[in-house]
Amino acid sequence: MRPTILVTGAAGQIGFEVARLLEPHGDLIAADRASLDLADPDAIVAAVRGAKPALIVNAGAYTAVDRAESEASLAQAVNGRAPGILAEEAKRLGALLIHYSTDYVFDGKSTTPYSEDAPTAPLNVYGQTKLDGEHAVAAAGRHALVFRTSWVYGLRGRNFLLTIRRLAAERDEISIVADQIGVPNWSRALAEATARIVAAGLAGAAERAGTYHLSATGRASWHEFAQAIVGDATRPRVVPITTAEYPTPARRPPYGVLATQRFETTFGFGLPEWREKLARCVASPVEPAVRY
């Protein structure tokens, strides 16, 4: 029997890719914000009990890092509370939950890659709400795979790659922060990894429940990432600046590289260096939008 798969946030960067890739593996219910509002606990319960999925992939999240500073209660509802409700409902059904979290649960004071067990200390509201979501999932029991990742980009939605492309078309010079270090991750690569784990079997995936760092390897500053996007073009010039020169409402961790050994050892594969995926991404066509 084909399992029912519920994907939330299905119009988002990861959600769009993961829904597309999971379609062959079950009867897919791809819910965007209009069809399932994660800020509404009753709607979540009704959606899950109605669908009775064997797998829930929670790709929905409040991801506006700066806006979260002034919309903390909405960010908390979506990032902090909804994952716990999904986890409770998944437990009730004997379903598996796959949930995504972020390197922003860390304070960025480390200079070496963060392991899953490293102490968390978010610097901003978004990071705190995502950490609360992780705790809520854990409190519901060990029925979930939580994949922390970082710096998600793609050819759809709102992200750094598309912002740099737009600025590059408008300006001769762009100034980009060079003292924040992390790892760019193509949304499709994250979705492919998720789909590969699902394709290998839900029972096996459930046995591996826990928190994992799912990321490409290598490291970059935002400045290096921007330079890689612009490539060899002589225009625009990509000028390195400091975080202090680019103040934002939310503080960002200066370092967010995630150690991926636990993921690789557990699932038997990993993601390549981030530049390889960036090259694949920019060479690929934009998939047409799907209406849910």
Ligand X SMILES: NC(=O)c1ccc[n+]([C@@H]2O[C@H](COP(=O)([O-])OP(=O)(O)OC[C@H]3O[C@@H](n4cnc5c(N)ncnc54)[C@H](OP(=O)(O)O)[C@@H]3O)[C@@H](O)[C@H]2O)c1
Q: Applying CB under 6 A, which of residues 5, 19, 63, 174 lies at the interface with ligand X?
A: 63
The answer to whether residue 76 forms part of the interface with ligand X (CB under 6 A) is: no
Residue with tokens 């740099």: 164
The answer to whether residue 260 forms part of the interface with ligand X (CB under 6 A) is: no
List, in sequence order, every residue forming a beta bridge with 215; answer none if it has no partner.
none
127-152 exposure pattern, b = at least 16 Cβ within 10 A, e = fewer: bbbbbbbbebbbebeebbbbbbbbbb
Tell me the closest approach of the beta carbon of residue 235 to ligand X, in angstroms: 27
Tell me the closest approach of the beta carbon of residue 201 to ligand X, in angstroms: 24
Residues touching ligand X: how many (CB under 6 A)? 26
Pick out residues in 167-206 that bind ligand X (CB under 6 A).
187
The answer to whether residue 9 forms part of the interface with ligand X (CB under 6 A) is: yes
Cα first-last separation, the chain:
24
- 126 annotated active-site: yes
Q: What is d(CA 228, CA 175) in angstroms, rounded to the nearest whole number?
A: 14
The answer to whether residue 12 forms part of the interface with ligand X (CB under 6 A) is: yes
Outline where DSSP puts E strands in 49-162.
55-58, 96-102, 144-149, 152-153
Q: Return the number of the residue (157 or 218) whose C-beta is nearest ligand X.
A: 157
The answer to whether residue 78 forms part of the interface with ligand X (CB under 6 A) is: yes
Q: Applying CB under 6 A, which of residues 61, 96, 195, 228 lies at the interface with ligand X?
A: 61
Q: Applying CB under 6 A, which of residues 23, 27, 33, 250 lies at the interface with ligand X?
A: 33
Q: Applying CB under 6 A, which of residues 7, 11, 29, 216 lies at the interface with ligand X?
A: 11
The answer to whether residue 128 forms part of the interface with ligand X (CB under 6 A) is: no
Nearest to 115 by CA among 244, 265, 232: 265
Pair of tokens at residue 102: 């972020």
Q: Return the number of the residue (82 or 202) whose C-beta is nearest ligand X.
A: 82
Q: What is d(CA 9, CA 24) in angstroms, rounded to the nearest whole number?
A: 19
Tell me the closest approach of the beta carbon of residue 78 to ligand X, in angstroms: 4
Q: Using alpha carbons, list the distances in angstroms from residue 242 to 38, 101, 177, 239.
A: 36, 26, 5, 10
Strands 210-213 and 144-149: parallel
Residue pair 65/180 in contact by the 8 Å Cβ criterion: no
Pick out residues in 85-124 that bind ligand X (CB under 6 A).
100, 102
CA 11 to chain CA centroid, Å, is 13
Q: Applying CB under 6 A, which of residues 21, 62, 105, 161 lies at the interface with ligand X?
A: 62
Which residue of the chain is nearest ligand X when measured via CB? 12
- Contact window for ligand X (CB under 6 A) among 113-121, 143-151, 240-248, 273-281: 143-151
For 66, counting Cβ atoms within 10 Å of its Cβ (0-12 exposed, 13-18 middle, 19+ buried), the class is: middle
The answer to whether residue 125 forms part of the interface with ligand X (CB under 6 A) is: no
- Of the candidates 114, 126, 212, 292, the residue annotated as catalytic is 126
The answer to whether residue 252 forms part of the interface with ligand X (CB under 6 A) is: no
Q: What is d(CA 188, CA 185) in angstroms, rounded to the nearest whole number?
A: 9
Strands 220-221 and 181-182: antiparallel
Just list the catalytic residues: 126
**Residues that bind ligand X in the complex, under the rule CB under 6 A:** 9, 11-15, 33, 36-39, 59-63, 78, 100, 102, 130, 149-152, 157, 187
